[in-house]
Every structure is written in structure tokens, then in C-alpha cells.
Amino acid sequence: MGLGSGSTALYFIRILGSRLETGDLHEIKGIPTSHQSSEAAIEAGIPLTSIDEHPILDLSVDGADQIDMQLRAIKGGGGALLREKVVAAASNTYVIIADERKVTEHLGEGYSLPIEVFPFSRRAVLKEIEGLGAKVTIREAKGKLGPVVTDNGNIIFDADFGWIQDPHNLEKTLKLIPGVLETGLFLDYADLAYIGTKEGVNKLERGC
């Protein structure tokens, strides 16, 4: 199963490890989507494997930075969007877990879209994305000078488009720009979402 990245996914990884330890779950192998989730899985005692060994996953669980009622999501706040999308696409069932603050009526409203970019192309890509009407910043690292570098050796742009009225078209347009490796738009991947609220947990299903 795929193991997502970010604070919410880390809670899931710890719970999964505890269920394996008590014997409630058996024969699970995890495919982490970042160094962070890999370290968390090792600490939790979850056996790890790779997507090369298991190119089809039974289940993946991940968080989201924004999610709408159609289960379309924006991800990439932690910089792991490329690996997360590879894992999402390989999963028979893809589940998002999030709290109610992440639920939005309009994707992109109040949140910038992360885009993973090949460093060699960053200036050219920056101009192209700005030409689409976005305010773009290169994500800067904390604790070091310079941009954030992903686990894949790339950089992250945060593009503020405001309300993304046609996410599918924007995804196609961005992916046609040479140097854009992946976007944080996760549009047709999630089958289920569990949304934590003050009253409990709401279950959302795609198409319902």
C-alpha cells in the first residue's frame, strides 16, 4: 500500500504500525512517497517495498492541502507531489484523509498550486506560468539559503491562480510546458475521503 506524506499521513502511518504490532493487521508492505514517510514507516515497524516490485497497489492513503466535494484535491504542500501522484495513479483504491479545514468549494481559492519544475528550466517555466495569469513564487527553503529541493532533486513553484474554474484544462496546459514535471492537481484519483470534523468523521465517495 502507498504511504502518503505530510502531518495527517504521518498519523495514519503510526496507527498502521500499531495495528501491525498488535497483530490486527498482517502481510502489509508500504511504499513511501517521501523520505519523511519512509522514516516514519521504519520507526512504526512497517515493512517497506518499492513501486518497481509492486507496480499495482491495493490501497494508498494520503492527505490533502485542499479537497472539494468532487474529491478533486490540491497536494504538494510538503513537496512530495510527484511521487504522491505516481503512487496515486498506481493504486486500485486511493483514499484521502483530511480535516474539515481542508475542504473547499473552489480549488485554488486561498491556496497556491504547487508545481514541480526541472531546475534548468525554472526561468522559462516561470514566465510561461505567469503568462497564464498566476502569481508565482519559487518555494524557499527554511534553515538554508535558496529554493526547496524535492526528493527528486527538483524545485517547487507555488502558483496562485485564485479560483481554478477548469482544473482539468489547467492541468493539461501546465503539463505541456517543457520543464514542468508535475502539478499538485489530483483530479481523478481519490475514491474515498474521510474528513475529520468536531462532531466526528464524514465519509465522501466519488460520484456520490
> What domains are defined for the chain?
2-103+187-205 (3.40.50.1360), 113-183 (3.30.70.260)
H/E element, 150: none
Q: How confident is the model over 128-155, as pLDDT tens digits? A: 999 999 999 999 988 777 899 999 999 9
Rounded Cα gap, residues 202 and 67, in angstroms:
13
Task: Name the pLDDT band for 6 (thresholds 50, 70, 90).
Answer: confident
Q: How confident is the model over 80-133, as pLDDT tens digits? A: 999 999 999 999 999 999 999 999 999 999 999 999 999 999 999 999 999 999
Closest C-alpha to 188, from 51, 104, 85? 85
Question: What pLDDT is recorded for position 208?
Answer: 60
Residues 6+ apart with CB under 8 A from 63: 4, 5, 6, 7, 8, 9, 75, 96, 97, 98, 102
Q: Which residues are identified as catalytic?
A: 84
